Structure 1
């Protein structure tokens, strides 16, 4: 049961079949082996973390988050793909300098005379959420959402070692009305993101393990994992896949580390990737698939902090 849960549930996306933490460790170990070095760290495969508690305690509603109705999902996928099948998707790369990130972080961490420090990751995706939403020219009264993958390694108690080879990923879903997202200062979006991420804590992960190990849930034919959506577009929403902490530049097959590391072509509109810039100074590159007709507006405002809804 634990193996089934790990394989089917703790995955960030249908097309990303293994965790990037495990993948990056594997590539680094491969390079060590090619150079005749001892492989460190060795992978850990203990699946005890997927065992339900006794008695189980489901404290959160996981239907609508990790699970969705097959019927609702099918309808959403059909509507999105039918509406956008004739539109070209372009994967656009944006470079955010360290100077811009510092400015962005300072701007996002101050509101109404009070300072609140947020991470660079939270500030940057808050900014991109606003810019992409503005570029899409959405109705001000519609809701928009980001799906953010949360790695449970540093959240679950007792802590799961980084060398665990497998997926321990759930999601945070910060949500806002378009008008509020654009009319309120950047701090507003950053706060929503921070609070949504914080809610996916040890209790939430353990609640999900208990929920997903329930035979009544596992045998329900009307539910599928929400990660299994097959959209060409995320429509009003976004998803972020962060590679900022993965040691891909430690990979060395004997000829030195890679000059540049970047995601492959992934034309799902709204599915953005964040990677450390090959410059190595702390700057960040974002790879953002957008419809061609929205890209012009995005380029105009991607470094602007002053956005408003209609």
Structure 2
């Protein structure tokens, strides 16, 4: 796809904002350290499209500069402070806004299932720059030949998780529509003990901070990192979801928390299908990463509008032989056990574990930042499945109607997977997954065959 960049500018908050350094929590400083993209496609109605495209550009720019006042940390910059730790300088340096054009038509995207088609529609982040020069937010508006357009955003995962990112995006749209702010963002990470010392408490064993399993016979994951990958989107109908849940719950006692959820069931199914597709030996250890939102699990719960990372990645561990040979309910039970372990005490213990580390680097996925193979890696024989099933990802209206499609900008490393509700609002779900190119077709085959 040919996309030409017409202009790029820096947008600052349109009013004076609070300056100073903001301490980050340990949950901000572990896991993914790069930017996470999302993209929205629009085809305004005929009446809306009669307005000049420049007016749409002006609305987006003006509302973005205004929403950066209440969301002022997004206009700041990150700084390394040593030992793999960071601070956020709220210096109002601004965000990047890019205008682009493409000769493609919206119809050329088909069902929007090919991630490779989005590559030039998403802002490029130059990680060769010093960290303190990289914007935390980059936006690209791309106009298509047919009259439609896309809005893509990429946000630093150090500063926001999925819920916080969607909070910001929805408030930006509200302001663009001329409405007041809905929920005030809450920035003080001290509720997650940012900048404070460890607390003396009984520490849990945190498997999520252990070395992840390697393929039998390998001493590191460098070879797996270098293998070509490809992404796929698989739709699961509501009937298929219910069929899988029935299979998972066939032998389950309902005394332990009721039937398995959609997430527990589908994560288990993905785990088993990947083990088959990767042709593991029966004794191969494998881990499934699970993202847990701590907002309501903390005691007391985090304030409404908490703006930052409140996600703790935990893992379920088994062997491929057990997962494949035993009923689906076995893998589902592994997922549930890992989730139920995450209490307020467990999260505080994980925070203390990180506070007690001399250096956080080995717990950070910083490959793009430093060009090394450092950090956690959920590739073969492991996976991570992130659920966006309960997040308000659809219905983003800047004043010219809701999107016709919203998608993840990329799913680009082996073992990376997302589960989202279908845009059709018919109860179906979409699995976006990236695996090694040699494994993806077999995965798709087992994924659907085993539902029958």
Q: What is the TM-score normalised by the length of structure 2? A: 0.59
Q: Which residue of 1 aligns with 2:280?
A: 138
Report how far residue 4 of structure 1 moved: 3.5
Question: Could you tell me how far apart the structure 2 residues matched to 1:261 and 1:122 are?
Answer: 24
Preserved contact between residue 108 and residue 123 of structure 1 (Cα < 8 Å): yes
Contact kept in structure 2, 1:186 and 1:305, CA below 8 Å: no
Aligned partners of 1:138 and 1:100: how far apart in 2?
Answer: 26
Partner of 2:117: none
> For the Cα contact (< 8 Å) 1:66–1:226, is it kept in 2?
no
Change (3 A) 1:7 1:157: closer
Is 1:275 paired with 2:420?
Answer: yes
Deviation (angstroms), 1:59:
1.6
| Corresponding residue to 1:120 among 254, 257, 262 | 262
Distance 2:192 2:27 in 1: 11
Per-residue deviation, residues 240-297 of structure 1 (Å, max 9, x unmatched): 1222222121321011222221111232011011111110122110111122222232
Please name the residue that 2:293 is paired with. Answer: 151
The equivalent of 1:261 in structure 2 is: 406
3-state SS of 2:420 partner: strand
- Give yes or no for the alignment of 1:103 onto 2:122: no
> Is residue 270–residue 447 contact of structure 2 (8 Å, CA) maintained in 1?
yes
Determine helix, strand or coil for the equivalent of 2:291: strand
Ranges in structure 2 where 5+ consecutive residues have no aligned partner: 1-20, 37-156, 213-218, 367-373
Determine whether 1:246 maps to 2:391: yes
Q: Is the 8 A contact 1:43 1:164 kept in 2?
A: yes
- Counterparts of 1:2-13 in structure 2 under 5 Å? 3-6=23-26, 8-9=28-29, 11-13=30-32
After superposition, what is the alpha-carbon deviation per residue over 1:198-248, rounded to whole angstroms, capped at 9, x for unaligned? 11111101112333334xx2xx25862154455787110001122222212
CA RMSD of aligned residues (A): 2.7
Match of 2:6 in 1: none
**TM-fit CA distance, 1:146:** 0.6
Which residue number in structure 2 is paired with residue 56 of structure 1?
200
For the Cα contact (< 8 Å) 2:25–2:190, is it kept in 1? no
Partners of 2:352 and 2:413 in 1: CA distance:
32
Would the aligned equivalents of 2:291 and 2:314 in 1 still touch at CA under 8 Å? yes
**Alpha-carbon distance in structure 2 between the residues aligned to 1:170 and 1:222:** 15
Relative to its length, the structure with more helix (as a share) is 1
Q: Assess if the C-alpha contact under 8 Å between 1:275 and 1:285 holds in 2.
A: yes
Q: Distance in 1 between matches of 2:390 and 2:26?
A: 22
Aligned to 1:72: none
Pair 1:55–1:146, CA change in 2 (3 A):
closer
Bigger Rg, which one: 2
- Tell me if the contact between 1:276 and 1:283 (Cα under 8 Å) persists in the aligned partners: yes
Find the counterpart in structure 1 of residue 339 from structure 2.
Answer: 197
CA distance 1:222–1:97, shift in 2 (3 Å): closer
1:124 deviates by 0.6
**More divergent stretch after superposition (46-55 vs 259-268):** 46-55
SS of alignment partner, residue 449 of structure 2? coil
Counterpart in 2 of 1:292? Answer: 437
Cα displacement (A) at 1:149: 1.1
* Cα distance in 2, alignment partners of residues 128 and 279 from structure 1: 22
Question: Which structure's relative contact order is higher, taking Cα pairs within 8 Å and 6+ residues apart?
Answer: 1
TM-score (norm 1): 0.85
